[in-house]
Amino acid sequence: MLSRVASNLYWTGRYIERAENLARYSKEIYFSSLDAPILAAYDRKFVLESMLYMAGIFDMEEINERDVLLKIAFERENANSIFSIITMARENARGARNEISVDLWEAINKYYHFVNNYSVEKYVTTGFYEFTQSVLEEAYIVRGKIFGSLLHDEVWAIILLGMYIERVIQMIRIINSKLHDIYKIEKGGHPLSEMSFEWTTLLRCTESFDMNRKFYRSTPGKKHVLEFLFLNEQCPRSIYHCLESIQKYVELLSDGTAITPDSILFKIGKLCSHYKYMVYEDYADDVYGLLNHTQDKIMEISRELEVKYLSF
């Protein structure tokens, strides 16, 4: 396979995952404010700042709802808007058109045209929920076509490698963003006993609330939520599960290449083992430190993957 085509496949996976996570976080944060028990903390500015923090947008001098919603979803000059991300997913899929199925291409094309043709005025007035929910549903369809219409070969492995690398990065951003919210609420003088709603919101932002409740059968709290999202190997969005998946797809692409200390497989295996034998108490006092360490390692692995397999 040409490196250019491999790069297109990899970034198709990354952009599909990125759009889904941004849409879900924005939707959950925006509408969770309607039910928040600490209403004084949940003014519109707090909610909009949380959405901007997740999107990595820090240059807005004046925050108002209409501008924030447009910047996150439709601003073409913003490379991190949902429109820009899905446009890039489509362009990368076009570059690998001969390697993917007709069904997958049509699903991605439909995804793009849905976003491109959505009424901007409707979105900023009454359509925010419909738009973000539809973005999620289109992403689920695309993922289904990846699993259901492609041969489970190197093309499939490269797309999923991109998706899981992006998922780790997005999980770190989501957890960081919500921890930042919780820190601001705590600074406002609200006791820890009132934080259950915040941990529930974090679980909903990662599509993990129901399964966390099933696993622990208790009210969400800091320990159980962070343990679930960091270490639970059965949770498809936990960092540990994503690292295991990355390791699996790198192994498939390596095709028996010797594992040396400077190899990509060695580095991802080492990071994966670090999580495998970790317990909550190991990082309870330095959650940000673990998140930053993991992000640095994943970015290093991502750069090396691009050099080895995707450079052209």
Q: Report how far residue 47's alpha carbon sits from residue 35's, in angstroms, rounded to the nearest whole number.
A: 13
Burial of 127 from C-beta contacts in 10 A (0-12 / 13-18 / 19+)? middle
Q: Which of 35, 236, 18, 13 is nearest to 136 (CA)?
A: 18
> CB atoms < 10 A from the CB of 22, how many?
25
Q: Is the separation of the CB atoms in 104 and 150 below 8 Å? A: yes
CA 258/CA 59 separation, integer angstroms: 46
CB 224, CB 212: distance < 8 Å = yes
Across 207-231, average pLDDT: 95
How far apart (Å, rounded) are the C-alpha atoms in residues 112 and 312?
27
Which residue shows structure tokens 């699996």?
Answer: 248
Cα 164 off chain centre by: 9
Closest CA to 144 of 5, 16, 23: 16
Of 165, 116, 107, nearest in space to 137 by CA: 107
What are the domain boundaries of the chain?
3-310
Please name the amino acid found at residue 85.
Answer: I
Burial class (CB within 10 angstroms; exposed 0-12, middle 13-18, buried 19+) of 251: middle
* CB-based contact 172:21 (threshold 8 Å): no
pLDDT category of residue 194 using cuts at 50, 70 and 90: low
Listed residue (251, 278, 280) closest to 265, CA to CA: 251
Q: What is the DSSP letter of 62?
A: S
Tokens of 16: 């599909």
* Mean pLDDT in residue range 68-87: 95
**CA gyration radius for the chain?**
20
Give mean pLDDT, residues 114-121.
96
- d(CA 271, CA 265) in angstroms, rounded, equals 10
pLDDT band at 122 (very low <50, low <70, confident <90, very high): very high
pLDDT for the residue numbered 181: 86
Q: What is the DSSP letter of 280?
A: G
Cβ 198 vs Cβ 185: under 8 Å: yes
Q: Is the pLDDT of residue 249 over 60?
A: yes
Q: Which residue has the tokens 């994966």?
A: 272
- Tens of pLDDT along 166-175? 999 999 999 9
* Model pTM score: 0.94
Q: What pLDDT does 1 receive?
A: 72
Arithmetic mean of pLDDT over the chain: 92
Q: Is the pLDDT reported for residue 191 higher than 80?
A: no
